[in-house]
Amino acid sequence: MKKKSFNEMTRRSFLKKAAVASAAIAPTIIPASAMGLDGTVAPSNRTVIGVIAVGGQAQSLLRNAIQQPDTQIVSLCDVNRPKVEGVKKTVDSYYDNQDCTIHNDFREVIAKDSIDALLIAPPDHWHAIPCIQGAQAGKDIYCEKPLTYSLEEGRAVVNAAERSGVIFQVGSMQRSDRRMKQACELIRNGYLGKISHINVGLPNGGQSETVTDYPPVPEGLDYDMWVGPSEWIPYHPKRLDWNWRWWMGIGGGQLMDWIGHHGDIAHMGMGWDDHGPASVEGEVWKLPKRNNLYNGPSAYRSKLTYENGTTMTIGSMNALPKVFTDQGDSGTQWFGENGDWLFVSRGRIDSSDKRILETEFSSGDFRFRTERNHMRDFLDCVKTRRQTIAPVEAGHRSASLGHLSKIACMLGRKVEWNPKTERFIDDDMANNMLSRPNRGDWSLA
């Protein structure tokens, strides 16, 4: 792959130097690369990016961002030193210079004035604090889904982003998929009629493993920082990387991993980006046996009811009714009041009436913009300051489907919810589960 030719002048530093040069009496010589000549992109048009966490998903995002012609990755942060050093080699190999910095503490990245935007993709429990601090510092943000570990964290992130006016893209990348947009356009424009019910099928639940020994923390891993604001758990290598999601104090199992995809598409199709259910009933919450390393459910299901009467079932494929599992894969399925249905997953779109899929939209129909690269959509919005395809409020409301379902399932009963105040109605026990105290000195403030 051809390397980008970037000098050390970043977007913010270029703008500062340009301002100084315009005020000076003597003429200033500016290199061609700074002016966007010789096939390069001028610093004033580049988005300078810092990356917080460099695990598997973060590396995928980084590769997408670095291949865009108008970006520059300048800083990487991760508590695993060997891992971040390896990713630095990848970044450095892409540029002509070798000056990408590495950090253990995300606050050092946020404090860099040269950085325009942040890619934030650590485990779920580490989403809220960097997002809030990044927004307070005026950085535009791309944050992986689910938006936050808890519902109250999500509202705090939304408030911080809105107060600062930053551009925010939630990593619910299915919103940029062609099939997903087509399905949501059909639903939003009424081609299935009034929606009576929605099924949201998610992958089956978590891992099960019993261990007797907990090895020492390896050199180069700041495990105390990795645990951060979460509850303390002993180190084990099988709790890191992908498998952190099976411990409910760090992630939220497949429910929270996927609710920001198929649950998000359910809301996107209904135009419910600032909306939520009126009640949630926990129906299935099955924990695996012989397990002390993880505590996520192996099967889960909840039923939600909205103020307009539409109901929604959210569950793992092993806990859903046959009418949905007949589809063969997880996804989102809307049912119209006349009995027709529309299904969409990452691999296909289908309907009980195939003519619905051949619909030609009219000029007055609602349509999404056509950009299919989720990162590109974010970068374009950074420049234009328009709203992203997956804005922060939408990401919060989609994640709330998982948060509320988890609470109702763990309580094993029905809970009444006020989507405007985001509080359970006359239910102190449930309200106490909307957040948890942070460990140590970590705070959302």
**Are the CB atoms for 260 and 395 separated by under 8 Å?**
yes
Interatomic CA distance for residues 150 and 176, integer angstroms: 25
Q: Give yes or no for a cis peptide into 146 (omega within 30° of 0).
A: yes
Q: If you ran DSSP here, which 8-state letter would residue 175 be given?
A: G
State yes or no: pLDDT of 29 exceeds 50. Answer: no
pLDDT for res 445:
82
Q: 175-370+391-431, what's its fold?
A: Dihydrodipicolinate Reductase; domain 2 (3.30.360)
pLDDT tens-digit readout, 179-227: 999 999 999 999 999 999 999 999 999 888 999 999 999 999 999 999 9
pLDDT tens-digit readout, 369-387: 999 999 999 999 999 999 9
Residue 402: which H helix or E strand, with range?
helix 392-411
pLDDT tens-digit readout, 308-343: 999 999 999 999 987 777 778 899 999 999 999 999
- Note the pTM of the prediction, 2 decimals: 0.91
pLDDT for res 18:
45
- At 39, the pLDDT band (50, 70, 90 cuts) reads low
- At 157, the pLDDT band (50, 70, 90 cuts) reads very high
Q: Can you spell out the DSSP letters for 275-344?
A: ---SEEEEEEEEPPSS-SS----SEEEEEEE-TTS-EEEEEEGGGS-HHHHTT-S-EEEEEETTS-EEEE
Asked if the domains at 11-172 and 175-370+391-431 fall in one CATH topology, the answer is no
Interatomic CA distance for residues 444 and 435, integer angstroms: 11
- At 11, the pLDDT band (50, 70, 90 cuts) reads low
- At 131, the pLDDT band (50, 70, 90 cuts) reads very high
Interatomic CA distance for residues 24 and 288, integer angstroms: 70
pLDDT for res 433:
98
pLDDT for res 232:
96
Phi, psi angles (nearest 5°) of residue 168? -135, 125
State what percent of residues in the chain have pLDDT above 70. 90
3 state SS of 437? coil
Residue 50 pairs in a beta bridge with 75, 118
**Sign of the dihedral through C-alpha 8, 12, 13, 19:** positive
Regarding the domain with residue range 11-172, which homologous superfamily does it belong to in the CATH classification? NAD(P)-binding Rossmann-like Domain (3.40.50.720)
Amino acid at 202: L
Domain ranges of the chain: 11-172, 175-370+391-431
Q: If you ran DSSP here, which 8-state letter would residue 120 be given?
A: E
Interatomic CA distance for residues 10 and 72, integer angstroms: 8
Smallest Cα–Cα separation from 75: which of 116, 129, 36, 33? 116
Interatomic CA distance for residues 173 and 375, integer angstroms: 8
What is the average pLDDT score of the chain? 91
Encode burial over 48-78: b for 16+ CB neighbours within 10 A, e otherwise. Answer: bbbbbbbbeebbebbebbbebebbbbbbbbb
Amino acid at 435: S
**Are the CB atoms for 222 and 104 separated by under 8 Å?**
yes
pLDDT for res 355:
96
Locus of tokens 């806990």: 319
